[in-house]
Amino acid sequence: MADDKRADAKEWTSFADKDLDVAVHLFETFRPMPLEIICFHCQQAAEKAVKSVIVLKGSQGGFPRKHDLFLLLSQIKNMVAVDEKLFDYADELTPYGVAARYPSELFLEERHAEKAIRMAKEFVEWSKSIIAAAESED
């Protein structure tokens, strides 16, 4: 595995970590809680985590400039193990990447933000485990 692919994948994961950190920080400290922004950053964390794996493993059609998590996972499901629950999470998180940008597009409660954080954490952990496995193969 080329070192540059691993370095690029780690950089994407670092960006995912930052989005997740922002979401957690806002959840824990801001009142009133900015639910749309928290959920947006969770979607972004998940997207960047998936893209880190795409960068590492490659995908058919090159690097996608898409934001649909289900579509992104579909591009790599034959290259890496993707737990089926990540596809379910993808369906839940994807709307937060767009609808959260428009007032009144989403009805969100604290429980939605809390769940979005949990799902985003799983995406980030999954991507880090794939990168770690690639490193141990070399």
Is the pTM here over 0.75, yes or no?
Answer: yes
- Contacts (Cβ under 8 Å, ≥6 apart) of 98: 67
d(CA 33, CA 53): 31
What is the full per-residue pLDDT of the chain (138 aa) written as tens digits? 467 888 999 999 999 999 999 999 999 999 999 999 999 999 999 999 999 999 999 865 556 778 899 999 998 988 899 999 999 999 999 999 988 777 777 889 999 999 999 999 999 999 999 999 988 876
Q: Report how far apart, in Å, the C-alpha atoms of 95 and of each of 6, 43, 71, 91, 119 are.
A: 29, 8, 13, 8, 14
Domains of the chain plus CATH, in order, are 3-137 (1.20.120.330)
